[in-house]
Amino acid sequence: MFMKKIDNEFFTLAWEALTCSCPNEKSLRVEQLYLNLKEGLLTFDHKSKIFEQQEPSFAEFTKIVKPSEVPKRKHFDTLEGQCILLHAIAHIEYSAIDLALDSAYRFRDMPLEYYMDWVEVAADEVRHFRMLEELMIKRGINYGDLPVHTLLFDAGKRSGCDILHRMAVVPRYLEAGGLDANPKIVQKLKSSSGRDENAPIVEALEVILEEEIEHVNKGDRWFKYVAGKRGLSEEVYFEILQLYYPGYEKRGAWLNVEARLKAGFSCGELKRMGAKKCD
């Protein structure tokens, strides 16, 4: 286990984990940070300087391309199709590690539970990444062998100006979108001719879906906490989305209503997004 530690100040250690460019070392740093935080071994210097991450931590070992140039996820009954799918989801989970760390590092003077929540999310994302990495290795590839995009990193930077915006954009919009997409991918994997080979991927995605509901719920909780302190209504969520994603597409029939309700969305919100039914 990674044991080297410069000091016991939370934001210093969070920054070191966030900017670490070695996936294995990053994972160990996150696990140690989470353990130390749970055991009450860390101090918090809320007045320490906030640095800006200039490039994603994966930039050193991946080829970054435009989103349109990333390999398309299809043909799940072939080895190539499985590798592309696993690599794409592993990249999302790896990016999610950094987004959780950034949310913990960037926003100061929040309750202790806030930092506990986002370091716990980072630790969960590490576990998800490792599950997917193991499945990739069994198929002969490693994370970084295929090109990746920076959509999640860019969204994190854009929403870093305000904690309310970050909670709206990342967990309540982007991660919640994963709750909608995951079951569709699982269904395709189950219906493909290579369903036996895909069974471990399906198992991993089902674990990820259940745990991502709680991640979105954490974002929902802190979004509502900050909105409440500012005296803002539910409407502010849609106002923020219009700022970042003008004319954002209503998902309608593709909404995973059950998962989103568990994550904290109201029926009013979901119907506004296009849900036909919500009880």
CA distance 264 to 220: 6
Enter the tokens of residue 278: 């919500």
Query: What's the pLDDT score for residue 139?
Result: 96
Enter the tokens of residue 80: 């190539």
CA distance 224 to 237: 10
**Per-residue pLDDT tens digits for 117-137:** 999 999 999 999 999 999 999
Query: What's the pLDDT score for residue 253?
Result: 58
CATH code assigned to 60-272? 1.20.1260
**Per-residue pLDDT tens digits for 234-252:** 899 999 999 999 877 665 5
In the chain, what are the domain boundaries? 60-272
Other Cβ atoms less than 10 A from the Cβ of 41: the count is 11
CA distance 97 to 114: 16
Residue with tokens 């979108």: 177
Other Cβ atoms less than 10 A from the Cβ of 56: the count is 21
Amino acid at site 24: N
Is the Cβ–Cβ distance between 239 and 213 less than 8 Å? no
Query: What's the pLDDT score for residue 254?
Result: 82
Query: What's the pLDDT score for residue 194?
Result: 66
**What mean pLDDT is reported for the chain?**
94
From the number of C-beta atoms within 10 Å of its C-beta (0-12, 13-18, 19+), residue 186 rates as middle
Query: What's the pLDDT score for residue 10?
Result: 98
> What is the radius of gyration, based on Cα positions, of the chain?
19
CA distance 98 to 15: 10
* pLDDT beneath 50: ranges in the chain: 1-6
Other Cβ atoms less than 10 A from the Cβ of 127: the count is 16
CA distance 109 to 132: 35
Query: What's the pLDDT score for residue 2?
Result: 43
CA distance 34 to 11: 12
Coil, helix or strand for 64?
strand
275 backbone dihedrals φ, ψ, rounded to 5°: -65, 135
CA distance 157 to 218: 20
125 backbone dihedrals φ, ψ, rounded to 5°: -65, -35
Query: What's the pLDDT score for residue 208?
Result: 97
